[in-house]
Amino acid sequence: MEKNRLKPLEIKSLNSNSALMHMLQQSGNVSPEKALRFVLYEKELEKLQVRLIALQNWIINHRKRLCILFEGRDAAGKGGAIRRITHHLNPRHYRVVALPQPTEIEKGQWYFQRYIQRLPNPGEIVFFDRSWYNRAVVEPVNGFCTPEEYQRFMNEVNAFEKMITSDGIHLIKFYFSITKEEQALRFEDIRKDPLKRWKLSPVDEKAQELWPVYTEYKEKMFAETNTEENPWIIIKANKKPRARMEAIRYILDAVPYVKK
């Protein structure tokens, strides 16, 4: 798109506060075309967020329960997608669950136990930033569980999900998929940014080296847990804005709320 081909409405959009702020933040790489794409993305995102509020109101009023899992490789954009989805929601009626390593007591419990107590209550949405599927990929790849614990999980997970959905919980399972090259670029960006460095963990540092092993376990997970009742929704996430919009649209289409 050449500058002299910008339409009047596009030029008007570039005069908005969001476009000007976006261009100022680009540190010397100012592009009207990129700024325009950003503004259009923000406008479309806002429309979808309005619909998300309607969905949440429906869940609250009808005492429904919605549970959304966000899985994917390190730096795939799971947290950013959750932040965009929840940005305008009523915080009293949703929770984001990102569990730390299990305690010694939790290690002695049934694996699903600490997840069960965090499932949504009536009138609530729960977003899992990584979920019980840690045991399907992250834990066996990094040696955090035994082969027997891994196999027990794989034998039980489909039945566990069938139990919670049979009880009325609406379950959505997202997998954010990025390429090895894109993950390397994002890791480098995180390392350079002092405000983001906290995101890198020892597990993240080994992610590139262990890429093929992650792939092996990911494919096993899909093969055994992509059921007709609770399928995996794979989001191509190399482009963050597109991935976020796709996830939101899927949620809005998958949950049978009354659209007003």
Residue 30 falls inside a structural domain: no
Residue 146 falls inside a structural domain: yes
Q: What is the pTM of this model?
A: 0.88
Number of structural domains found in the chain = 1
Residue 10 falls inside a structural domain: no
Residue 37 falls inside a structural domain: no
Residue 41 falls inside a structural domain: no
Least confident of 24-38, 60-74, 100-114, 161-175: 24-38
Find out whether 169 and 59 touch, Cβ atoms under 8 Å.
no
What residues make up the domain containing 91? 63-254
Residue 5 falls inside a structural domain: no
Average pLDDT, the chain: 91
Could you tell me the pLDDT band of residue 35, with boundaries at 50, 70 and 90?
A: confident
- 76-87: average pLDDT: 98
Give every strand in the sheet of 232-236, ordered side by side. 94-97, 124-129, 65-72, 169-177, 232-236
Helices (H), 121-232: 138-142, 147-166, 180-192, 202-205, 211-225
CATH code of residue 165: 3.40.50.300
Is pLDDT at 201 greater than 80 in this prediction?
Answer: yes
Residue 34 falls inside a structural domain: no
Taking only the tens place, the pLDDT of each residue in 139-154 is: 999 999 999 999 999 9
Burial of 19 (0-12, 13-18, 19+ CB in 10 A): buried
Percent of the chain with pLDDT over 70: 87
Residue 19 falls inside a structural domain: no
Find out whether 36 and 19 touch, Cβ atoms under 8 Å.
yes
